[in-house]
Chains A and B, each alone.
Chain A
Amino acid sequence: MSAAKVLMTVVKPEGAEPIFKAGDSVRISKRFPIGHFRVPNYIRGKSGVVESVIKPAAVNNEEEGFGRNAGPKRHYYRIAIPLTELWPKYAGSVDDGLRIEVFETWLERS
């Protein structure tokens, strides 16, 4: 068996395939971990749409923050959220929007 074939038989690590795809409606989880996190409070509980899957998959940065440099990987997604969804009193155009990368563990289907 060639080296390439051997590699293909290896079981894919958890999260190698993205759970969401472009166009999916999602909600950012509303939870409050302590320690280290990269999901700002101002987007928690808000709804948006997956614009794209960011590749490659990566280690959860909440764990990287404590020195984990390898292990199971999941994807980040580029999420589009209208500014009127984030700020109810938003005065600009209704089309104005935020784009932000959010790790898979923070996304819920909506």
Chain B
Amino acid sequence: MTQTENLLRQLPTELGGLDAGPVERVEHEYLPWEKRCHALANVLDIRKIVNTEEKRRGIESLGGEIVGKLTYYERWIIAFANILFQKQILTPDELARKMEEVSSRSSGDTVRCD
């Protein structure tokens, strides 16, 4: 088996039986956007717009480096964006524009909150 075949055999999310250090009992309070992201996942699954397996595949196909470096819900939202593009429900362009709008709205919030 070649090196590259091996990359296909093991999904980047598959960990069972790998060597790893001790379990550190890390936990954090879920952030509001993380909860919203989870709620979005549930709604998309129930409505069969993006089912759970599609979401899992979407995360796997981000590749090892992104899976390894992004946090849990960061991976989810990227996977959703990609799948929604693929299904032609959203376009990359409109998401980029909307993100700019949300971003400028939020810096407005900053000024007000400060």
Chain A residues within 8 Å of B, Cβ to Cβ: 32, 34-38, 40-42, 61, 64-67, 69, 86-87
Give the residue name and chain of the A residue nearest to B5 (CB): A32
Residues of A within 8 A of B52 (CB): 64
- A40–B9 alpha-carbon span in the complex (Å): 10
B60 at the interface (CB under 8 A from A): yes
A40 contacts B53, C-beta separation under 8 Å: no
Evaluate whether A36 and B53 lie within 8 angstroms (CB atoms) in the complex, with A41-B9, A41-B10 already known.
yes
Is the pair B57, A66 in contact by a Cβ cutoff of 8 Å? Answer: yes
Say whether B54 faces chain A, with CB atoms less than 8 Å apart: yes
Interface residues of B (CB under 8 A from A): 8-11, 14, 16-17, 48, 51-54, 56-57, 60, 87
> Does A64 lie within 8 Å of B14, measured CB to CB?
no
Given contacts A64-B51, A65-B53, contact A40 B60 (CB under 8 A): no
B8: nearest residue on chain A (CB-CB)? A34
**Does B9 contact A67, Cβ atoms closer than 8 Å?**
no
- Measured CB to CB, the closest approach of chain A to B29, in angstroms, equals 30
Nearest-neighbor residue (CB-CB) of B87 within chain A? A67
Most buried by A among B16, B48, B52, B60: B16
* Known pairs A32-B8, A34-B8; A65 contacts B16 (CB<8 A): no
Choose one: B9, B60, B87; the contact of A32 (CB below 8 Å): B9
Interface contact B53-A64, CB-CB below 8 Å: yes
- Select from chain B the residue with minimum beta-carbon distance to A67: B54
Min Cβ gap B10→A in Å is 6
A69 to B52, CA, bound (A): 10
Which residues of chain B come closer than 8 Å to A67, judged between CB atoms?
51, 54, 87
Report the separation of the CA atoms of residues A69 and B48 in the bound assembly, to the nearest whole angstrom: 7
Question: For the complex, what is the distance from the CA of A66 to the CA of B54, rounded to whole Å?
Answer: 6
Instruction: Provide the bound-state CA to CA distance between A64 and B56, in Å.
Output: 10
Residues of chain B contacted by A35 (CB below 8 angstroms): 57
